[in-house]
Structures are given as C-alpha cells and as structure tokens.
Amino acid sequence: MRKLFTGLNRYAAALGLAAGIAATPAAAVELSFYYPVAVGGPITRIVDGMAADFERENPGIRIKPVYSGSYQDTIAKVLTAVKGGDAPHIAVLLSTDMYTLIDENAVVAYDDLVSTPAERQWLNSFYPGFMKNSQTGGKTWGIPFQRSTVVMYWNKELFREAGLDPERAPQTWAELVDYGQRLTRRDAAGNVTTWGVQVPSSGFPYWLFQTFTTQNGIELMNAAGTETYFDRPQVIEALQFWVDLSRRHGIHPPGVVEWGTTPKDFFERKAAIIYTTTGNLTNIRNNAGFEFGVAMLPAGAQRGTPTGGGNLHIFSRSSAAERAAALKFVQWLSAPERAAQWAIDTGYVAVSPAAWETERMKRYVADFPAPTVARDQLQYAVAELSTHDNQRVTKALNDGLQAALTGTKTPAQAMQDAQREAERILRRYR
Amino acid sequence: MSSLALAPAFDSRFDRILNTVAAWTLGLLWLLPLAYAAWTAFHPSEYSARFELFAPLTLDNFRTAWEAAPFPRYLLNTTLLVTTILAGQLLLCTLAAYAFARFSFPGRDIAFALVLVQLMIMPDVLIVENYRSIHRLGLVDTIGAIALPYMASAFGIFLLRQTFKTIPRELEDAARIEGCGVLGVLWRVYIPLARPTYLAYALVSVSHHWNNFLWPLVVTNTVDTRPLTVGLAVFAGTDQGIDWAVISAATLLSSAPLLIAFLLFQRQFVQGFLRAGIR
C-alpha cells in the first residue's frame, strides 16, 4: 500500500503539480492561516504582506496565508479540513460560527493559551461590543479582526432637492418615514424613480432585521446560544415596521431587496438612504458621484445595531509550540498599529480603543471622519444572531423574514413559524 | 383546388419559419448574458446598468481584474486540471465500459449497478470523505487531488458501455479473424466507432470541470494549484456590493479560452454529433 501511495505522489510530482507536499524543516514552526475576502481591493496582497512582516520580526515562525473564498466557503473548507484531520492553525471566520466551532471541538479558548498578566490584559483590550460574539460560557474563543456594524448612508443632493437639511440624517423611526415620504419620487406614470429608503434583504436578512429588533428593545437570542425569541411581540412589531415601509408608506422597494446591488442603487440615485455595512465605506467613497453622509441608524425605542464580521480563531489540532506561535501571530495582528492600518486599508472598524489613538488613525479620520460613526455606534451594539447549529437556525429566521417581506405570510405568522423551527433545532442543546 | 395544392407548401414554409424563429430565440437567449458581460466589461462601471450607444470604451476593468489575481497561472492550472481529468476519465471509462459491454464475469451486473448508483450521488456530499482520503495520500494542495475523485466517472462508463453495445458483434469477429487480441479489438474497432460519443463526453467533461468550484477550493491552498474559478471568487466578496464591470471582465477572461476553442472547433463538434445521428 505504501508503495502505491508514493507512486501516486510521484505521479503528481511528475506532472509538476506537487507544490504543496514539500516537507517543513523541523526547526521552524509553520502555521497555516485561512482567511476569507469579503471586501474589494488587493486583500490577498495585503495579507501576504502582513505575513511576511511578521516572519521578519519573528524568525522561526512561518505563516502560510491561504485565501479561502467567501465566509461561507471558508467555514466549509475549515470544517472539511477539521474532519479530514488537517485543520488549519489559525482562521478568520464569522464571529457567529463560534458555537459551531465549539460543538465540533475545533477551536481552543484563548483563556487556556494566555499565561502572563500582560496577555490577560490584551484579552480585555477590545471593544466590549465586539466581544459579545466572541465569548461564551466565561471563555473567549475569538479575537475581533475584521468587524463591522450596520450604518446608514444618505445622498445629500437628494436631501437638498427634497427640501431637507442635507447635513442631518433622520434620528428616529418616525423621522425615517417622514424623510422617506419626501424623498420618494415618482415619474408621470406613477412608477417610483427614487426610493426614500432601502434596506437589503437577500442572503442574510436577519442581520439587517436585527437593527430594527435592537432598536425596538429586544435581542433575538440568549447569551448561551440555546434559545431564540423570534415570536416575541417586540420582534413582530419590528418586522411589521420593516414591512410597512414598503406596504403602508410606499417609501421602500417591495419584496426582497438584493444586498449586492444596493450600493449600486445608491450610486444611481435609485435610493436616497440605504442601510448597509461599514465595510462598504471605501466602495461608496470611491464610487458615489455626489456628496454623501454616514450616520448611526435611526432610533426606535432606542438606538441599536448588531455587529458583524470575522474573528481570529486558533484551532485545537496543534502542538503546544504551534499554539504558542499562533497566539503570537494573533496578538501581532490585533496590535493597535496593525489594527489601525487594516481598518484604513479595508474599511472595517478598528477593533480596539488603542487603535483609534494611533497617529495614523488620527491622521486618517482628521480628513475623513465617517469611520468614527461606526465606532461611536458600538456602545449601542449587540451580538449578531448566533446559536448552536447556527446555519439552520438562521435559515429558519431568514425564510420567515423573506416570506413576510414578499407578503406570503403576515409578520406574526412568519415569526411564529421561524420560532417553532428554531425550537425544534435547539432542543437538543439545552 | 388551388388551395388544396397550396396547403402542403404553406405548411412546410410555416414549419420552416417556426423553426427559424425558435432557433433565433434560443440563440439570443444564450447570447444575452454574454452580450451583457461584454457590454459591462468594456465600459466604466457607471454604465453597467445603463445603455448608451456611445458610452466611453475602456480596458480598465480588465486591468483591475488581471491585477487582482494571478490569472495566467490559474489558466495554466485549469488547463492542466481539465486535461488530467479527461485523460484519466477516457482511460478508465473506456476499459470499464469495454468490460461491462462485452465480457461476462461473475458479479458483472452488481458491479454495473453500483456504478449506476454513483450517478445518483451528488459529489458535494462526499467532500469530507474525499478530503480524508486525499489527506491520507498526502496529496492535499495538488492538481492531482482535484482530479482524482472525478476520474472514475460513472456517467462516462455508462455512456461508453451503451455505445459499445450498439456496435455489431460481426465487426469484432472480423477483427479477431484478422488477428486482433482483446485490446486490439478495443483499439481498432470500438474506439474508432465510438468517436462521436467520445467527443460529446469530452465536451461535457471539460466544460464541467472548467467551472467546478467547491472541491478545488477545499482541497487546494496555494496559487500554484488553484484553478480559475477559485481566482474569480475574489470578486464575489459581497460585504461591499458587487462591481459588475470588474466581475464581467474577469468572467470574460476566464471563459474566453473555452469559448474561443469552441468557436474554432465548432465544425468538428457539429459534424461529430451529426455522424452519431446518421448511424
């Protein structure tokens, strides 16, 4: 059998394809680092550059960055590798995959890796809003890396044309409806040419929906990730508000709104106000042919947004030396200077208060203050929906939301159905 | 009287018009996404959703796409990948199909039924198990690893077996009298007569594996082994919306070789299928 395998190896090598089988020298620790790309720009080159910088400062550790597609592709790749006995050492995954990773015994808690007081201090150096999705059961499983929140972008020109103060965004739900009615424009035939407000609902509508529920004073799940509250009255009210934007007030496009093309609709002046991620800032800054503003989301009973984006995880299938090296790399990546540079390069929110105090960050926001909106909104931020068996529970909610938005179910019916499905899935984790 | 005489002529003309219209409709439907991709790829992204005849032309999108990923390397990998897979498939499927079609051995029908069962299973279901095997073979992150799970293609075996079964035994007997052995018969009789089937199968196989995404992504880690589709995925990062212009440019870049090859060899393909029909 051995012979057959070496034969196959040789076959691959003979074709000139065996780049990956090269053996690692025993002295150096080699760490594989899987990361997704979710924003534009030469991200792979930036990550390769960071890995090279780290290697220069830390001889004896080699980082092998592996670009692994979208977040969905990355979790599929990571879980396959984990089950195939070939887990990466470090990976950037959605913070919401935390319970899934714990249930698979794939990751180690940072509390078990840190030893010195300085390292323990480091664990507490990030914004608490981002840690809500990174800790459970009293332990920290992820370190914030490329994190975001939902913010509102508005077209100042359209505000001016509608007789609104172009420097002031709507502050409350009532104002949002009022502004929306003034901003929505119709042509002679009655077809809408510009929608007042547009909240995307394809792909992951639950994330946008969490803005409304948080503003209505309720969270969608408990901190242990074993219970959901989809059928609570405040949740149904929040969904009713979203549905009414289109159905009752006529200021929002009907049906399911595509996430990927929402920025484009904004550029084309088809929507005057859009809700989308802070990760879009660089894109909108480069492509909007008009003055735009960035603001916190309008408040219902209170302000609110979920956080989003990816955390750094260290995997359990590794030697003590590898884990120590991995911890070093994660600390290096999340250090204030690097976090600031990463935020500037990508548009994500810098993850620690110290990062905002660095010279380069101060210089950056001095002539472009928009990124601070997301930072200031963090005090109202809650954890993104995340439970055990997260993919299936989230799908139950997404299906319910889209059914309500397209009008096939009433908000109450849709949320009751979603809750029943979530109950069924989560029962075995209690 | 005259109306009676005219009726058949009218019918056949009507038939022809109907055929032409249907062919044009299908052709246009097929062409539409391609035309849109070409339009957006050659214009600045402001014009992605607007049609103006004299919009400024640009090659910037191609430059952006070209610089965002090492496309020449990916192209080489994809070419290596589809040729490796096709070579493996042709060899394995031919031998297996020959055995199933022309030899009787104990357990043949059960073995063939098992091959057919494989047709019912989505390859994606087997990703974890395949990964485990590939990892044990030490082949993770090689082009061989992407190719291996697809080489024993059930579809190929089935298709070739059916084709071989339609070939008259008399031809085989004649070849044997002339002195051909078991493999000689395969080489001189079956393979030449099944050429149209091979051509059709090769077309399906190449275009399928040119487009395959998930398995190559999962089992490869470096630029040296990854195919075009994985490179393309960089542009689908949806956190910040989709830039259709760049995506279209990248799509054209990666599908161009296949499109051009098809246009060049189109005559051969069509003739291949025609011959298959005549017999």
Domains identified in chain A and CATH numbers: 22-148+308-377 (3.40.190.10), 151-306+383-429 (3.40.190.10)
Q: Cα-flanking dihedrals φ and ψ of residue A276, to 5°?
A: -160, -175
| Residues with Cβ within 8 Å of residue B269, at least 6 apart in sequence | B199, B203, B262
Cα–Cα–Cα angle for A65, B235, A342, rounded to 5 degrees: 50
pLDDT category, A3, cuts 50, 70, 90? very low
Q: Which residue of A has its CA nearest to B140?
A: A20
What digits encode the pLDDT tens for the residues B80-128?
999 999 999 999 999 999 999 999 999 999 999 999 998 888 888 889 9
> Residue B230's pLDDT is what?
86
Q: Which residue of A has its CA nearest to B66?
A: A42
What digits encode the pLDDT tens for the residues A18-48?
333 344 444 589 999 999 987 766 788 889 9
Across the interface, do B221 and A66 touch by the CB < 8 Å criterion? yes
pLDDT category, B235, cuts 50, 70, 90? confident
Report whether B245 contacts B41 (CB < 8 A).
Answer: yes
Across the interface, do A17 and B225 touch by the CB < 8 Å criterion? yes
> Residue A12's pLDDT is what?
45
Does residue A14 register a pLDDT over 70?
no
Q: Which residue of B has its CA nearest to A275?
A: B240
The pLDDT > 70 percentage for chain A reads: 93
Choose the closest CB to A21 out of B132, B138, B237.
Answer: B138
Across the interface, do A263 and B241 touch by the CB < 8 Å criterion? yes
Q: What is the mean pLDDT of residues A235-257?
A: 95
A368 vs A144: which has the higher pLDDT: A144
Choose the closest CB to A5 out of B138, B225, B243.
Answer: B138
Place of tokens 């990751």: A107
B88 vs B4: which has the higher pLDDT: B88
Does residue A238 register a pLDDT over 90?
yes
pLDDT category, B240, cuts 50, 70, 90? low
Distance from CA of B61 to the nearest CA of A (A): 13
Across the interface, do B141 and A19 touch by the CB < 8 Å criterion? yes
- B139 close contact with A: CB closer than 8 A: yes
What residues of B are in contact with residue A307 (Cβ under 8 Å)? none
A144 vs B265: which has the higher pLDDT: A144
- B91 close contact with A: CB closer than 8 A: no
What residues of A are in contact with residue B237 (Cβ under 8 Å)? 36-40, 43, 70
Does residue A73 register a pLDDT over 50?
yes
Q: What is the mean pLDDT of residues A79-104?
A: 92
Q: What is the mean pLDDT of residues B255-266?
A: 85
Q: How far is CA A8 from CA B61, B147, B199, in A?
A: 41, 12, 28
What residues of B are in contact with residue A69 (Cβ under 8 Å)? 217, 230, 233
Residue A4 token pair = 């057959």
pLDDT category, A272, cuts 50, 70, 90? very high
- B141 close contact with A: CB closer than 8 A: yes
pLDDT category, B7, cuts 50, 70, 90? low
Does residue B62 register a pLDDT over 90?
no
Distance from CA of B51 to the nearest CA of A (A): 13
Across the interface, do B241 and A21 touch by the CB < 8 Å criterion? no
B98 vs A223: which has the higher pLDDT: B98
Does residue A295 register a pLDDT over 90?
yes
CA distance A322 to A328: 10
- Closest-CA residue to B137 (of B226, B225, B221, B219): B219
Does residue A142 register a pLDDT over 90?
yes
Of B122-136, B197-211, B242-256, B264-278, least confident by mean pLDDT is B264-278
> Residue B276's pLDDT is what?
55
pLDDT category, A15, cuts 50, 70, 90? very low
Across the interface, do A15 and B80 touch by the CB < 8 Å criterion? yes
Does residue A13 register a pLDDT over 50?
no
| Residues with Cβ within 8 Å of residue A45, at least 6 apart in sequence | none
Across the interface, do A64 and B141 touch by the CB < 8 Å criterion? no
Q: How much is the mean pLDDT over chain A?
A: 89
What ipTM was predicted for this assembly? 0.78
Q: Which of residues 23-62 of B touch A (CB under 8 A)?
A: 45-46, 48-50
pLDDT category, A198, cuts 50, 70, 90? very high
Report whether A250 contacts A260 (CB < 8 A).
Answer: no
- Strand segments, DSSP code E, in A90-171 are 90-94, 135-136, 139-140, 143-155
Distance from CA of A116 to the nearest CA of B (A): 34
Across the interface, do A261 and B241 touch by the CB < 8 Å criterion? yes
Report whether A426 contacts A393 (CB < 8 A).
Answer: yes
> Residue A11's pLDDT is what?
46
> Residue A251's pLDDT is what?
95
Residue A49 token pair = 């550059």
Does residue B68 register a pLDDT over 50?
yes
pLDDT category, B5, cuts 50, 70, 90? low
> Residue B238's pLDDT is what?
61
> Residue A45's pLDDT is what?
85
Across the interface, do B143 and A277 touch by the CB < 8 Å criterion? no
The rounded radius of gyration (Å) of the Cα atoms in chain A is 23
Across the interface, do A19 and B80 touch by the CB < 8 Å criterion? no
Of A45-59, B16-30, B67-81, B148-162, least confident by mean pLDDT is B67-81
What residues of B are in contact with residue A15 (Cβ under 8 Å)? 80, 84, 143-144
C-alpha dihedral sign at B213, B218, B219, B224: positive
CATH match for B72-229 among 3.60.20.10, 1.10.3720.10, 3.40.50.720, 1.10.1060.10: 1.10.3720.10
Q: Which residue of A has its CA nearest to B44?
A: A287
pLDDT category, B146, cuts 50, 70, 90? very high
Distance from CA of A347 to the nearest CA of B (A): 10
Across the interface, do A9 and B49 touch by the CB < 8 Å criterion? no
| Residues with Cβ within 8 Å of residue A89, at least 6 apart in sequence | A31, A32, A33, A314, A315, A318, A322, A323, A325, A326
> Residue A5's pLDDT is what?
44
Which range of A21-25, A223-227, A235-239 scores highest in mean pLDDT? It is: A235-239
Across the interface, do B132 and A19 touch by the CB < 8 Å criterion? no
> Residue B175's pLDDT is what?
92
pLDDT category, B8, cuts 50, 70, 90? low
| Residues with Cβ within 8 Å of residue A270, at least 6 apart in sequence | A193, A194, A195, A198
A1, A3, A5, A17, best to mutate vs chain B, most B CBs in 10 Å: A17
CA distance A55 to A36: 21
What residues of B are in contact with residue A21 (Cβ under 8 Å)? 138-139, 141-142
Cα–Cα–Cα angle for B86, B90, B96, rounded to 5 degrees: 140
Does residue A362 register a pLDDT over 90?
yes
Q: Which of residues 108-127 of B touch A (CB under 8 A)?
A: 127
